[in-house]
Amino acid sequence: MSQTTAKSSPKISLLRVLGPAHVWALGVGIVLVGEYMGWNFAVGKGGAYAALIACWAAGLLYTCVAMIDSEVTSTVAAAGGQYAQAKHIIGPLMAFNVGLYLVFAYTMLEAANAITVGFLVDTVAGMSGHSGIDQRPFIVLSIIFLAWLNYRGVLATLTFSLVITAFAFVAIIVLFFGVAPWNVDSPLKHVELLGNQPALPYGWLGVLAAMHFGLWYYLGIEGTTQAAEEVRSPARSLPFGTMAGIITLLIAATLTWYVSTGLMPWEYLGQAGVPLFDAARLSGSTVLMVILGIGTLFSTLASANGCINDASRAWFSMGRDHYLPAWFGAVHPTYRTPYRSIIFLVPIALIFALGAPLDQVITFSIVSGLLGYTFMPLNIILFRRKWPLDTIKRGYVHPFHPLPAIVLLALCGVTYVAVFLGYGTQLVSMVAFYIVVSLWFHFWRYQFVSRGKQFTMPWPRPKGY
């Protein structure tokens, strides 16, 4: 009698090839574009000093985000980041919603970056007497090129981000030293530009409104968690890369505000398309203008590159767990990337990049991210309650618990009010959209989810189970 042995095909997984520098590049690379464009809309909302208050308040919010994320992700080392956290700690409906928040936050940020690339090319062309060029080919080309790069492999993708992100950050430092604020002949004119203006032209209501775009200084630092399944040592690399990233961004954000408000009237700064590039042009230095022009381009490419990486990982993870069709959970046999998820999200980014105003695209990203941040306090509180510190090993333990969770929740509440003041209709529409999709998941898609296969962490039973 012949006996046949069925050979199951080997499971193809993502590669663990990344180190702490790649985690830093992923987090900072996504966010640093916020220093090159977008943050300045906070100036238009409340004035220069309101934007500075929003910068530091948002910095506190994101420091709490980084601390909480570092603890949970160093323990839940799986692709999908906050989606994987919600899946293990809270439940399927929360996980589905958090996964969507991540995908739309990053995809809309990718679209905003592509719009900025087109605007920058048009601005540079205008300086040489060729203004009014069609920006759309540059928008499409940037998204297609970066999607192809992500398709080909994560190591090359994030190494590319590491190089161009480092250049963009150094460019901000060079601009600060280039304008030499300690010299009497510095081009900075804070006294003239701010001294004769009311500190808060719209009062404290303007400060509240500025919080809307204050988040843009740091939006996306939580994306470091998406690399959890591809990092060689998650318990060490993820906390180090994330915390180093938020420190980098706090420095860059403060320097950006200081230089920009010293070179441009706040009325113009509040609606500028590429404020750091404009600041370099007004400095009178051709070298600074070239460096910041390249820095603006590099920051947008690094951000869009990281957004494609993060959005596709979240979409891939949801497909792998059958929250979405399992077709999206495929890994490329050669490049070991979630190639179907990468390809699927490209046309969505293009639709918004080609058909929506920049401020609305930014708001879509901000609100989606804000909804995700609102989940984090509940997540860390339940995590500590279900698995106390002495029950499972953590790569990082954030201090002062539960104070960061309380501060984060309070700042999220303030920011919702700020968004409502300027974009109330869009905020309500987005919340309604997420509610409708949640109902679809609950009444239809949940039947395909195998809950027993979701829990991949070797943890003991939760306390009180």
pLDDT at residue 229 tops 90: no
- Euclidean distance between CA atoms 224 and 310, whole angstroms: 8
Task: Give, in degrees to the nearest 5, the angle at Cα 302 between 146 and 85.
Answer: 90
CATH class (in words) of the domain with range 20-453 = mainly alpha
CA 348 and chain centroid, separation: 17
Nearest 5°: phi and psi at 231?
-100, 140
Burial letters for 260-298: b for 16+ Cβ neighbours within 10 Å, e otherwise?
bbbbbebeebbebbbbbbbbbbbbebeebbebbbebbbb
Q: At residue 6, does pLDDT exceed 50?
A: no
In a 10 Å sphere around its CB, with 0-12 CB exposed, 13-18 middle and 19+ buried, how is residue 374 labelled?
A: middle
Would you place residue 315 in the very low, low, confident or very high pLDDT band (cuts 50, 70, 90)?
Answer: very high
Q: Which two tokens stand for residue 296?
A: 């603006």
Q: Supply φ then ψ for residue 339, to 5 degrees.
A: -65, -35
Residue 135, pLDDT > 50, answer: yes
Q: What's the mean pLDDT in 6-28?
A: 76
Whether 1 has a pLDDT exceeding 80, the answer reads no
**Contacts of 177 by beta carbon, 8 Å cutoff, 6+ apart:** none
Q: How far is it, in rounded angstroms, from Cα 408 to Cα 404?
A: 6
Among 423, 427, 418, 370, CA closest to 207: 418
Q: How many helices (H) and strands (E) does the chain have?
A: 17, 0
| Mean pLDDT, all residues of the chain | 90
For Cα atoms 301, 367, 60, give the angle at the middle one, nearest 5 degrees.
80
- For the beta carbon of residue 14, count every other beta carbon within 10 angstroms: 19
Q: What is the share, in percent, of the chain residues with pLDDT greater than 70? A: 98
Residues 6+ apart with CB under 8 A from 283: 175, 178, 179, 187, 263, 289
Rounded distance between C-alpha atoms, residue 91 and residue 396, angstroms = 23
Give the residue among 45, 99, 84, 48 at the shortest CA–CA distance from 208: 45
Under a CB-based contact definition with an 8 Å cutoff, are residues 133 and 121 in contact? yes
Domain boundaries, the chain: 20-453
Side-chain-facing half-sphere of 380: CA atoms under 13 Å: 31
| Residue 10 confidence (pLDDT) | 54
Which amino acid is residue 31, in one-letter code?
A: V
Alpha helices in 264-338 (DSSP H): 266-269, 275-282, 286-320
What pLDDT was estimated at residue 63? 95
| Mean pLDDT, residues 107-126 | 91
pLDDT score of 4 more than 60: no
3-state secondary structure of 59: helix
Please, which residues have CB within 8 angstroms of residue 300's CB and are 6 or more apart in sequence?
A: 33, 36, 37, 113, 114, 116, 117, 120, 142
Q: How far apart are CA 381 and CA 110, in angstroms?
A: 31
What is the per-residue pLDDT across 35-77, written as a single tens digit (0 to 9) for each?
Answer: 998 899 999 999 999 999 999 999 999 999 999 988 998 888 7
Residue type, 393: K
* Rounded average pLDDT over 101-109: 95
